[in-house]
Amino acid sequence: MLSTDPLWYKDAVFYEIHVKAFADGNGDGVGDFQGLIGKLDYLEWLGVDCLWLLPFYPSPLKDDGYDVADFLKVAEQYGTMDQVRQFLDEAHRRGMRVIVDLVLNHTSDQHAWFQAARMSPTGPTRDFYVWSDNDRRYGKARIIFIDTEKSNWTWDPEAKAFYWHRFFSHQPDLNYENPAVRQAMLDTMAFWLDQGLDGFRCDAVPYLFEREGTICENLPETHDYLKSIRQRIDATYHGRVLLAEANQWPTDVRPYFGNGDEFHMAFHFPLMPRLYMGVQSENRNPIIDMFTHTPEIPANCQWCLFLRNHDELTLEMCSGEERDYMYYAYARDPKVRRNIGIGRRLAPLLENDRRKIELLNSLVFTLPGSPIIYYGDEIGMGDNVQLKDRDGVRTPMQWTMDRNAGFSSCDPAQLYLPAVSGPLYGYQSVNVESQKDSAHSLLQWMRRMIGARKRHSAFGRGTITFLHPTNERVLAYVRQHEETTLLLVHNLAGSAQAVELGLAAFTGSTPVELLGGARFPRVTDRPYMLTLAPYGYYWFNLVPERPSGELYGLEHTAL
């Protein structure tokens, strides 16, 4: 049963999936919806609430599907529209929602709109794109993919004009000044919502409009259009969600929430590298500083927190010094650097240190926002840095120690990418099957943490107050929502730490550890002493002292 709460996304744990990488149902070496349907029981068992699918539309796959050739179809290799609908029904039946990537900013140069546009200056779709007879317009706009692109303009010999693209040159930007484009993309969204989708992760939203003299990002026109999308969805559908991909500073992302009338959710990009920095430097300040710079958002909005995703660990929102530190700490080997970031999965980034993996997951599970798990990170999957671009973190999901990691029955040479097979992260040792059988595996730990998080809405909806103990290696904060108060304490250091917390405001409360149910000594007006193992953490529910000592009102009168 799906929750009927329209704010469901505030409590949800998200799970990011690439259809091609998850499970191959027809044995052709590429993951598909048939395979995905077969793995829904696993996802239900894990306890996640919402699946985020990367683009599955027809595409020449020059940018792994983000170069969409047809917004209204399913790529043949992934299945049929009927299978998508069946997948949605099956997910919903298990209480899981599904959102999908929608690339608003651009299309593939193979899209029929672009092919028609370049053929005729007077054709109906010519103005679907941004054309120029020179490459000097919008000169203040930065180039995002500096590894591959020299300009945001590319000459098209057929059209005999330059076209505008903020990303790869094979991805021409749509012209949102054109009402027909705005309507076409609204219709695209409506089409998919009518199929049963629960929302969209909207790709690259800051770049929809261009205006001379600006950096062509976050323009007011963009917000006006996004608000019109929200209006249409709210007017016609119930319980759907829009998630913004805006790799910006929180103050720049804040407008994307509007007054609660634009996006429901947005990624908190700059927090992510600072979680890694905090652990590496054994100091809480990078993390607390980031929240100091994070503005309040409307009550019906939510941040999305993540440790890794299908892209590189982006360092765009880091200063030069911070970037150097991150490269030094996590990417000394130049082979693992991608664009402005690091192309590694979570486990290899953390040198497969289970304690660090747990600690960082604990942070994204307990800081304000909804966590997103990248497929495979729940079992500590490794990557393949020898593969080009970001393919190294998009290898087949490792289900079993059998052929092709249980991902596909095909000839191994047929796989869309080779399964990771090294001694440390290879599917023979890291796979779902073996970890399901082990009570203390990372997978079982993740499942328990997801379950514990779901028990308290304060994780998703509570306020946050950072505590400031003198020991800066310890990050402690209080989350409060309605009658619930949670105390979260993390040791960012690789050595055991003691900390004294100022909890006088909660005098009389009893900290009850959420995972084991152990009751800790009662809080008094004196500093509360805790000791933490290296990279250790505590999740406490501060159970208040009740005048009658009763929670239900019948403890003393049950007999």
Cβ 557 to other proteins, closest distance in Å? 5
Q: Which is nearer to other proteins, 335 or 455 (CB)?
A: 455
Minimum separation from the CB atom of position 517 to other proteins (A): 10
Q: How far is the CB of 515 from other proteins (least distance, A)?
A: 12
| Nearest to other proteins of 334, 517 (CB atom) | 517
CA of residue 531 relative to chain centroid, distance: 32
Contact by Cβ (8 Å): 164, 48: no
Where do the DSSP E strands lie in 318-462? 341-342, 370-374
Per-position DSSP letters for 170-192, written without gaps between them? TSPBB-TTSHHHHHHHHHHHHHH
**Contacts to other proteins by CB under 8 A:** 4, 451, 454-455, 548-559
Type of residue at 198: D
CA distance 342 to 277: 14
Strand partners of residue 489: 476, 538
Gap between the Cα atoms of 532 and 489, Å rounded: 9
Residue matched to tokens 């651009």: 106
CB of 2 to other proteins, least distance (A): 12
Closest to other proteins by CB, 47 vs 396, is 47
- Please state the closest distance from residue 442 (CB atom) to other proteins, in A: 20
Burial of 19 (0-12, 13-18, 19+ CB in 10 A): buried
* Residues classed as catalytic: 203, 245
CA distance 329 to 295: 29
Closer Cβ to other proteins, 80 or 457, answer by number:
457
Within its chain, how far is the Cα of 116 from the centroid? 35
Residue 238 CB, nearest approach to other proteins (Å): 15
Q: Is 58 exposed, middle or buried (0-12, 13-18, 19+ CB in 10 A)?
A: buried
Closest contact distance (angstroms) between CB of 440 and other proteins is 17
> Encoding tokens for residue 210?
């261009």
Please provide the distance, in angstroms rounded to a whole number, between the alpha carbons at the two ends of the chain. 36
DSSP string, 215-256: -SSS-HHHHHHHHHHHHHHHHH-SS-EEEE---S-HHHHGGG
Tokens at 199, concatenated: 């929302």
Amino acid (1-letter code) at residue 64: D
204 alpha-carbon distance from chain centroid: 14
CB–CB of 33/83 below 8 Å? yes
